[in-house]
Amino acid sequence: MISRDDELRHWPADESQARAVQDRLRRHVRLDEPGPEPGFEGTVVGVDVAYDDARDVVAAAAVALDARTLAVVDEATAVGQVSFPYVPGLLAFREIPTVLDALAGLTRTPDLVVCDGYGLAHPRRFGLASHLGVLTGLPTIGVAKNPFTFRYEPPGPDRGATSPLLDGAEEVGRALRTQKGVKPVFVSVGHRVGLDRACAHTLHLAAAYRLPETTRAADSLCRRALAST
């Protein structure tokens, strides 16, 4: 069992400590659960952050949607100081403390969390979605706007088409076409969700636009929270 409070109290101060944390926590990622079925009865929560680099401030938003209708049913924000430098592959250490505060502000427990970022599709197989999942115990997936350092063949042009996101021969996620003729998004599992269902959830959540409604709602809310500080 991971103690979120202990992890936050001993937050890493530099790159070597952060990589050691990733190595230690990565073994707790659960890949043997399929996760909730798409369109389940419950809440799916999107999380996102926005930065004010001049003030070293980060604002996080958590927006809960009805998993069937995609109507917003709850939301919360948190604002904090950035406590870790910008290092590719270690961005979770800049975001997670404030994201956890935003999640704690919700009035209901999420059944699924969708992160604007990566899970296993990460050089160390431990992106934001995996890190957040391990600390909270919640099912999590990552839906990113670009493929990071990995390669893929463009999926077919129709909505729902997929292709593997590859690191060598290893499939670390999938490129998913959420709208016909629109650039794909890049889906990876975080914790306690299988890749097939992660893609199905993403497609359900992206009913009208390229990005899932969870990401769109959380992005808008965290920007408003940042602007109001």
The binding site for Mg(2+) consists of: 48, 116
What's the rounded Cα separation, in Å, for the pair 192 and 111? 11
Q: CA–CA separation, 201 vs 140, rounded Å?
A: 11
Counting beta carbons within 10 angstroms of the beta carbon of residue 159, is it exposed (0 to 12), middle (13 to 18) or buried (19 or more)?
Answer: middle
Residues belonging to the binding site are 48, 116
Q: Which of 95, 102, 136 is nearest to 224 (CA)?
A: 102
DSSP 8-state assignment for residue 85: -
Q: How many Å apart are CA 90 and CA 87, to the nearest integer?
A: 5
Q: How many CA atoms lie within 13 A of 34 on its CB side?
A: 6
How far apart are the C-alpha atoms of 195 and 31, rounded to whole Å?
9
